Amino acid sequence: MQKTKTFISSHKIISGITLIIIVLGVYFVFFKGKTSGETQYVTETVQKGSITTNVTGTGQIEASNTITLSPKTSGVINYVGVSVGDSVKKGKLIASVDSSDAKMALINAQISLDNLTKGPDTLTLLQKQNGLADAYDSGWNTVSTFLSDMIVMDNNLESLYNGSGYLGYQNIAKTSNSSREKVSTGEDSYYKAKDSIDNLTKLFKTLSRSSSQNDISNLMNQSYQSSLLISAAIKDTQTAFNTVVADLDIATSDTNTSTTRTNISSWLSSANSYVNSLSSAINNIKEDTQSLEDTATSVTSQDIQAAQLSEQSKQDAYDGCFVYAPFDGVIATLTAQVGQSSGSSIGTIITKQQLATISLNEVDIAKIKLGQKATLTFDAIDSLSVTGVVSEIDSVGTVSQGVVSYNVKISLDVGDDRVKPGMSVSVTVITDSAQDVIVIPSSAVKTQNGTSYVETFSTPLAPTLIGAQGSPSVIPPTQTEVTTGLVGDTDTEITSGLKEGDIIVTKTITNATTTTTKKSSAPSILGAVSGGGNRGGGGGAAFRPID
């Protein structure tokens, strides 16, 4: 005992550490069993991050491709800018044929399209507008003359139907019932025409030559209807006059009777003339209006589309006069010579760009699109990783033993001399990505009855004890419904249901076997350290993680 005291006094630091170890050992022996039966939770605080989804495949590097060079427009070669063996960059002009005719055709097509898109010719449009204005002015003049003549016509007709006139009551009293009916019909027609003329005159006085075109059109239409009534009234009057003269047996040689008959025929001819002239004036306005509308809207969308297609065709023909390098490569053969006809081929070019071909199944191929980025690694070159882009996708799959596969070509962004045709390559294609979004471990997402949820705590749990995988909680976590987005290899995007700072459960740990050990006295230090002594059931509790 004295030696022990002397040792502790001389080695205070070592003694202090030893004491801490003893206390911890006692804690785990006597107290850990009290919490070993509780469920423990591994938690994580929700944060924003990025997530990507990938499709992986394996394949091989392809050998260089040879492309035939040929102008799309035939003609006489007037320029050759390369020689066999030259290295050329993409877009380098290799050769051209005479483009003068194609250029002239392109210019004409561009002018035609420009004329269509600018709208109708200003002079033509102005002429059409003036023509329509003249038609309205002429129509106004016709109505004005018609009304002046109809006032005279009204007086003439009225003189026939007054008391002493041929069709007045003095003569009618001497005629038969048939004659009286004819006179009554003529008189009714006359008063209808007279009312129409009176109303038309009132309307005319409210307007002027400078009135709106709609008002003048309405005036002309009413004038036309009045002219029809006047014509009908004179026709009925002529029939009544002839009937009465015959009934009264008035001699046809009577000068007054002969003159009246002639006048009635003249009135009818004049009325019919106005019917025709007013109808013609109305039709002229309609035709000039339609002509103006046709001129203003003469260019249809179909016309412009046809002109655009024509221009594009001429542009393609002009562009086809020039042969450019389709990619970086080497001129392998060259047959083009200035002054000769271009023919179907002027040479070949070998591409320097390396391609990787991988095979994907029908599930993965649905996620692949042209232009997607890819990362390539090589079995033969451990330290090399290069980027590329999806440049070609098979539209028709290959079936082998009931399995459909599709070839995808990846263009390497940068060439490397160490990469040789035929080498095996592993490719990871990035099919989708999201930045600055809520991302959590996929293990935290659970599904029940088609609904996704995560378990959350409203407050942080106590710090994890030494030797424990999680933190205990007597209060169970809350199930929080979430909506998921992209799903990566280990993480999942949450589009709704969680926010930054939320506490989620990523793993739940339950005690498979709960063991509590009771002793009559505290164990010795040696027993606690070496695991000897009576541990009651031998050994600690076994834990089972719940994903």
For residue range 163-222, what is the model confidence (pLDDT) as tens digits? 878 888 888 888 889 888 998 999 999 999 999 999 999 999 999 988 998 999 999 999
Question: Residue 31: inside a domain, yes or no?
Answer: yes
**Which of the four pLDDT bands, split at 50, 70 and 90, describes residue 514?**
very low
Helix (H) or strand (E) segment spanning residue 402: none
Last residue of a domain, one of 436, 470, 502: 436
> Looking at the predicted structure, is the pLDDT value of residue 527 above 50?
no
Highest mean pLDDT among 27-31, 72-76, 381-385, 395-399: 381-385
Instruction: Tell me which long-range contacts 268-274 makes (C-beta under 8 A, separation of at least 24).
Output: 268/231, 268/234, 268/235, 268/238, 270/149, 270/153, 271/153, 271/227, 271/230, 271/231, 271/234, 272/231, 274/142, 274/146, 274/149, 274/227, 274/230, 274/231
Answer yes or no: are the C-beta atoms of 195 and 150 closer than 8 Å.
no
Tell whether 535 and 427 lie within a shared domain: no
For residue range 36-49, what is the model confidence (pLDDT) as tens digits? 457 888 888 999 99
User: If 0-12 CB within 10 Å is exposed, 13-18 middle and 19+ buried, where does residue 243 land?
Assistant: buried
CATH for 332? 2.40.50.100
Q: Mention every residue, 6+ apart, whose C-beta is less than 8 A from residue 425.
A: 58, 59, 60, 61, 356, 358, 376, 377, 378, 379
Tell whether 187 and 262 lie within a shared domain: yes
Question: Residue 311: inside a domain, yes or no?
Answer: no
Per-residue confidence (pLDDT) for residue 164, from 0 to 100: 79
Last residue of a domain, one of 329, 349, 369: 349
Tell whether 14 and 85 lie within a shared domain: no
For residue range 92-137, what is the model confidence (pLDDT) as tens digits? 999 999 988 889 999 998 888 887 776 566 777 788 888 888 999 9
Give the domain extent around 243.
Answer: 139-296
For residue range 265-274, what is the model confidence (pLDDT) as tens digits? 999 999 999 9
Q: Can you say whether the dihedral through the CA atoms of 33, 36, 38, 40 is positive or negative?
A: positive
Per-residue confidence (pLDDT) for residue 469, from 0 to 100: 73
User: Strands 66-69 and 93-97: what pairing?
Assistant: unpaired
Phi-psi region of 63 (alpha: psi -120 to 50; beta: other; left: phi over 0): beta
Question: Residue 461: inside a domain, yes or no?
Answer: yes
Closest Cα partner for 231 from 265, 183, 198?
Answer: 265
Phi, psi of 212 (to 5 degrees): -65, 155
Closest Cα partner for 171 from 187, 153, 195?
Answer: 187
Tell whether 174 and 284 lie within a shared domain: yes
Tell whether 343 and 388 lie within a shared domain: no
Question: Residue 315: inside a domain, yes or no?
Answer: no
- 419-432 in b/e burial notation, b at 16+ Cβ within 10 A? beeebebbbbbebb
Last residue of a domain, one of 349, 368, 390: 349
Question: Residue 133: inside a domain, yes or no?
Answer: no
Answer yes or no: are the C-beta atoms of 459 and 90 closer than 8 Å.
no
Tell whether 87 and 146 lie within a shared domain: no
Provide the domain count of the chain.
4
